[in-house]
Chain A
Amino acid sequence: MTQPALDQPLVTGLSPEGFADRAQLIEREIQRVIVGQDALVRQTLICLVANGHALLEGVPGLGKTMLVRTIAEVLDCTFNRIQFTPDLMPADIVGTNVLVEESGQRVFRFQPGPVFANLLLADEINRATPKTQSALLEAMQEQQVSVARERHLLSPPFFVLATQNPLEMEGTYPLPEAQLDRFLFKLWVPFPSEADLITIVERTTGSTTAHAQAVADASEIVAMQRLARSVPIAPHVTAYAVSVLAATHPDGPRAPQLVREYVRYGGSPRGAQALVLAGKINALLEGRYNVATDDIRAVALPALRHRVIRNFEGEAEGITSDAIVRAVLDAVAPPAVD
């Protein structure tokens, strides 16, 4: 399995049409296992192609782990899963040097941890201590780990899917805002509809279980990532993305009343980057070569919901981040000419 670097020029010759075809193939294959959740699958795929990471939040049993596992199967990538617990240590994630005996001599050898995989499922990430969380978050940001003064690069693509359970908050360590910002998307896993539930039950209670087949490999994912970054974006679309982000700040000139009242901090510049990059991929996935303001709006919710920090009043009033982002989108209309 080839693993090209992202900072090299595009040599794969992947066309936008090929991108869309490949993406549709991946989605279709995932949907053979994951019933419903089309938007979740699409957003997860965007995250993967954007070379970002996703934080999935949903009640237990909605298929978060199954989704990641299926993606790993479809992409023919290495996959690891870490179940975060309070006693999990950083070394349990990134690996450690172990003393081994080679040729009669005892030497330290680095034993990679589960983080060394293309796809990593960090299950219930908020149950680990901040120290352990930060070890993973460093790997997510830097695409490398440092053990005993040695850096160990992670192989691209490196895609972390972390999960959180919003119900069981007792004994958890909520991720700090700075670490939440490292996730490209925060995805909300909805409860499936009754029709989807019927399908799920039928698929999982029979004698056979649906399995996905690998339709892409890591090199193709990297090629898709490069192509996505090459998509040009018009200045007015970039400006619109920036306007949306600026409106999440309570002191922003176009901030809606909801933001002014219930938001303590708005999105960071990473939010604008996420909007633009995800918008590019969304355009490609829809078969277009240009990024539209609609693409920005389509990805605004998962890209910004974890970057908007509510104040005490917002939390007390039960104002959700989604409501705030929607208010922002309502307030910042796309540039229109009449």
Chain B
Amino acid sequence: MNPLPPTTRESTILQLRRGLRPYQRRLWLRRLVRDGARIAAFVAAAGLVLAGAARLTPLGWAPLAAAAMVVAGLLALLIDAARVRPTLAETAMALDSEQGLRDRLASALALSERTPGDRPDAKSHEALVRLQREDALRSLAAADRRAFRPRLPQRALASTVLCAALIVPALVLPNPQSAILAAREEQRDAAEQQARRLDQTADRLGTGRESPDPRADVADELRRLAKSLRDRPADLDEHLARLGSMEDALRSRLEPGAEQRAAAMTSLARSLSQLATGSDSNPAGDPQHAAEDLDEMAEGLDDKSPAEHAELARRLAEMEPVARQAGPEARGALHDAASALARGETAAAREALAKLGDALERGQRQVDLNRDLARAANDVQDARRALAGSGPTRAGQGGQPGQPGSSSIPGSSAAPGQPGSSGQPGQPGQSGQPGQPGQGSQPGQGNQPGQGNQPGQGSQPGQGNQPGQGQGQGQGSLGGGGSNARYLGSGTGQGATRGPTTGNRQFGTGELDPVYADFDRLGRPGDPSYIAGSGGDGQIDPGSGQGAGTGNDGIVPYTDVYQEFQDLAITTLDRSYVPVDVKDYVRDYFSRLGGGP
């Protein structure tokens, strides 16, 4: 061994350190590759476990978790990169080991930082240290420049490849949990949508109103419901129960005859305005407008002759039947006004007419409240149905017992319910009670024999050329028991006759039995033709009896049956879920008819 020419201690140390730098970087890279492969294997294994779990159970957060794993892996690699950065001493030791240098570099580097002190052999010790450094430098110069080639750990690499190979089919093949997740997502969306609807309803109800106005309380409750829907969209049953409870509460507040009363008030208001002004100044039947007209009429009473007073009294007396339906207060005030005018007591008549105007306005406010609550109830009902339709599939519930059929509304164009997609077969509904005899007053026009098993009660003569016989095929589209089945009775009353309605149709099985009726059996809410039955399908007993229509040729003026039809329509509107605009449509229809021929 020939020692190198003498160099200073510092210069050899610097040379040694400088010579180790490239190896330090290469060693760092090797460690990063090694640890990166291990981290990748770990992430791949975790991803495989996650993918497997996601196929066994619905994990909505699986994609997020997978992304988090990748991010965590990258983060771990970054942290590891800082952690595994080798020192020069480590590099020297690793290079000694890799190149078989027998600790030359590590020893030289370690001893370069130590001083011999005052040991007796310091001189020879220092000489040997110098020789060591020079020997180390020679060894370093002869070392392979390509040392520390990155090496992939075979086991980690195999694990990564295996996991990746297993993950691909797990991701590509259809995942049965996706449908569940989609249903949940749909449920969340539906919850959000219904929450918005409830908020809108609450805004409509609560704006400008404060307690004790019941609409303000209802608005608060609706907002709480909306918040609960947003916060806990998965609690479908609870929300359905709360919505149902609220709907029941709202409907319990509804005045059953409110719409009939409203129709009567409209008709009365229109008639009073016509009486007061002598023209059709209030075609909409606005009670406030009518009150103003009454005030004007009252002010001009003194200018009228007794004969005119008598005529007014007579006209007012004719309105008493309508006023009776508008409410006792209105009827009383009308009666007082008529009586006062008949007696020629204009002062009393003015006072009575003022009371009549006030009664009309109060009644209108009550009607407005009723309509608001009814509309809110309908909104809640719609929300509940939409929410129920968005929920996961579950077993159907048994249908409610059928209610007696009572409809005489000629079902003419009810849209059939849309089939559900994945409902479970429901339990058969209980048989409905036999339908009540049809009360339809329209003349039978069909030429088919009636099929109802109840005797017809038609009392009006038919208009057809054939002898009047019950020809209806009333199927009680509005009768029958309720059911939650998806396929509900289509309620396609086709008779439009006075023949007897039949009992409710037996709730079917098979494709008619899915669960969670989407409640749109008669078309979509808002459809003018949408006339919902009051319940689901009960058993339908096809009517076999024939109508007892008479075969005369008489023509009955509609004014004779107007009141009866109106009563039935209003009753139906009150008892059944009918969209508000349809109710308004029906009311307006009768209101316009009520104006007289």
Q: What separation, in Å, do the CA atoms of A168 and B132 have in the docked complex?
A: 48
Chain B residue with the shortest CB-CB distance to A288: B102
**Of the 9-residue stretches A75-83, A234-242, A255-263, which lies at the interface with chain B?**
A234-242
- Chain B residues with Cβ under 8 A from A172's Cβ? none
**A7 at interface (Cβ–Cβ under 8 A)?**
yes
Chain A residue with the shortest CB-CB distance to B113: A235
Q: What separation, in Å, do the CA atoms of A8 and B91 have in the docked complex?
A: 38
A232 x B111 contact (CB < 8 A): yes
**A88 at interface (Cβ–Cβ under 8 A)?**
no
Considering only residues 82-138 of chain A, those with a C-beta below 8 Å from chain B are none
Chain B residue with the shortest CB-CB distance to A280: B128
Q: What separation, in Å, do the CA atoms of A321 and B34 have in the docked complex?
A: 39
Q: What separation, in Å, do the CA atoms of A227 and B104 have in the docked complex?
A: 19
Known A230-B128, A287-B1; contact A336-B97, beta-carbon cutoff 8 A: yes
A290 x B108 contact (CB < 8 A): yes
- Chain B residues with Cβ under 8 A from A295's Cβ? 102
Considering only residues 13-30 of chain B, those with a C-beta below 8 Å from chain A are 27
Q: What separation, in Å, do the CA atoms of A7 and B120 have in the docked complex?
A: 8
Known A232-B128, A287-B1, A290-B102; contact A10-B108, beta-carbon cutoff 8 A: no
Known A9-B123, A17-B1; contact A237-B107, beta-carbon cutoff 8 A: yes
A234 x B124 contact (CB < 8 A): no
Known A10-B121, A16-B128; contact A236-B104, beta-carbon cutoff 8 A: no
B125 x A230 contact (CB < 8 A): yes
Q: List 27 A-B contacts (CB under 8 A).
A: A7-B120, A9-B124, A10-B121, A10-B123, A10-B124, A16-B131, A226-B121, A226-B124, A227-B124, A230-B125, A231-B128, A232-B111, A236-B103, A287-B1, A289-B128, A289-B132, A290-B103, A290-B108, A290-B111, A291-B103, A292-B102, A292-B107, A336-B93, A337-B27, A337-B93, A337-B94, A338-B94
Q: What separation, in Å, do the CA atoms of A338 and B102 have in the docked complex?
A: 16
Residues of B within 8 A of A (CB): 1, 27, 31, 34, 86, 90-91, 93-94, 96-97, 102-104, 106-108, 110-111, 114, 120-121, 123-125, 128-129, 131-132, 135-136
- Chain A residues with Cβ under 8 A from B104's Cβ? 288, 290, 292
Q: What separation, in Å, do the CA atoms of A56 and B110 have in the docked complex?
A: 37
Considering only residues 319-338 of chain A, those with a C-beta below 8 Å from chain B are 335-338
Chain A residue with the shortest CB-CB distance to B91: A337
Given A9-B120, A226-B121, A292-B102, 20 additional A-B pairs, CB 8 A = A9-B123, A10-B121, A16-B131, A17-B1, A232-B114, A233-B107, A234-B106, A236-B106, A236-B110, A288-B104, A290-B102, A290-B104, A290-B136, A291-B107, A293-B103, A294-B103, A337-B27, A337-B86, A338-B31, A338-B34
- Chain B residues with Cβ under 8 A from A337's Cβ? 27, 86, 90-91, 93-94, 97
**A254 at interface (Cβ–Cβ under 8 A)?**
no
- Chain A residues with Cβ under 8 A from B128's Cβ? 16, 230-232, 289
Q: What separation, in Å, do the CA atoms of A335 and B123 have in the docked complex?
A: 30
**A229 at interface (Cβ–Cβ under 8 A)?**
yes
Known A10-B124, A288-B135, A337-B97; contact A234-B1, beta-carbon cutoff 8 A: no
- Chain A residues with Cβ under 8 A from B94's Cβ? 336-338
Number of A-B contacts (CB under 8 A): 84
Q: What separation, in Å, do the CA atoms of A16 and B121 have in the docked complex?
A: 14
Q: How far is the CB of B221 from chain A (nearest CB, A)?
A: 69
Q: Of the candidates A232, A237, A335, which one forms a contact with B129 in the assembled complex, judged by CB atoms under 8 Å apart?
A: A232
A235 x B121 contact (CB < 8 A): no
Chain B residue with the shortest CB-CB distance to A336: B97
Known A10-B124, A232-B132, A337-B94; contact A237-B86, beta-carbon cutoff 8 A: no
Known A237-B103, A290-B103; contact A9-B121, beta-carbon cutoff 8 A: yes
Q: What separation, in Å, do the CA atoms of A292 and B120 have in the docked complex?
A: 24
- Chain A residues with Cβ under 8 A from B131's Cβ? 16, 289
Residues of A within 8 A of B (CB): 7-10, 16-17, 226-227, 229-237, 287-295, 335-338
- Chain B residues with Cβ under 8 A from A237's Cβ? 103, 107
**The 9 residue pairs across chains A and B that have the minimum distance between CB atoms:** A234-B107, A290-B107, A292-B103, A292-B102, A337-B94, A234-B110, A230-B124, A289-B132, A230-B121
Q: Of the candidates B86, B121, B135, which one forms a contact with A289 in the assembled complex, judged by CB atoms under 8 Å apart?
A: B135
Q: What separation, in Å, do the CA atoms of A17 and B90 have in the docked complex?
A: 29
- Chain B residues with Cβ under 8 A from A17's Cβ? 1
- Chain B residues with Cβ under 8 A from A290's Cβ? 102-104, 107-108, 111, 132, 135-136
Q: How far is the CB of B100 from chain A (nearest CB, A)?
A: 10
Q: What separation, in Å, do the CA atoms of A128 and B494 have in the docked complex?
A: 133
- Chain A residues with Cβ under 8 A from B90's Cβ? 337
Quick one: which of B34, B121, B124, B128 has the most chain A CB within 10 A? Answer: B124
Q: What separation, in Å, do the CA atoms of A293 and B121 have in the docked complex?
A: 23
Q: How far is the CB of B132 from chain A (nearest CB, A)?
A: 4
- Chain A residues with Cβ under 8 A from B86's Cβ? 337
Chain B residue with the shortest CB-CB distance to A335: B93
Q: How far is the CB of B150 from chain A (nearest CB, A)?
A: 12
Q: How far is the CB of B368 from chain A (nearest CB, A)?
A: 85
Q: What separation, in Å, do the CA atoms of A10 and B1 have in the docked complex?
A: 21
Q: How far is the CB of B99 from chain A (nearest CB, A)?
A: 13
- Chain A residues with Cβ under 8 A from B124's Cβ? 9-10, 226-227, 230
Q: What separation, in Å, do the CA atoms of A292 and B125 have in the docked complex?
A: 17
Q: Of the candidates B31, B91, B111, B135, which one forms a contact with A234 in the assembled complex, judged by CB atoms under 8 Å apart?
A: B111
B102 x A294 contact (CB < 8 A): yes
- Chain A residues with Cβ under 8 A from B103's Cβ? 234, 236-237, 290-294
Q: How far is the CB of A65 from chain B (nearest CB, A)?
A: 36
Q: What separation, in Å, do the CA atoms of A293 and B259 have in the docked complex?
A: 104
Q: What separation, in Å, do the CA atoms of A28 and B128 have in the docked complex?
A: 26
Q: What separation, in Å, do the CA atoms of A338 and B93 have in the docked complex?
A: 9
- Chain A residues with Cβ under 8 A from B135's Cβ? 288-290
A232 x B125 contact (CB < 8 A): yes
Q: What separation, in Å, do the CA atoms of A291 and B114 have in the docked complex?
A: 16
Q: What separation, in Å, do the CA atoms of A287 and B102 have in the docked complex?
A: 11
Q: How far is the CB of B113 from chain A (nearest CB, A)?
A: 10
Chain A residue with the shortest CB-CB distance to B102: A292
- Chain A residues with Cβ under 8 A from B108's Cβ? 290
Q: What separation, in Å, do the CA atoms of A294 and B124 have in the docked complex?
A: 24
Q: What separation, in Å, do the CA atoms of A288 and B96 have in the docked complex?
A: 14
- Chain A residues with Cβ under 8 A from B97's Cβ? 336-337
Q: What separation, in Å, do the CA atoms of A87 and B522 have in the docked complex?
A: 128
Chain A residue with the shortest CB-CB distance to B101: A292
Q: Of the candidates A8, A227, A232, A236, which one forms a contact with B93 in the assembled complex, judged by CB atoms under 8 Å apart?
A: A236
Q: What separation, in Å, do the CA atoms of A204 and B88 have in the docked complex?
A: 57
Q: How far is the CB of B96 from chain A (nearest CB, A)?
A: 8
Q: What separation, in Å, do the CA atoms of A7 and B136 have in the docked complex?
A: 30
- Chain B residues with Cβ under 8 A from A10's Cβ? 121, 123-124
- Chain A residues with Cβ under 8 A from B27's Cβ? 337
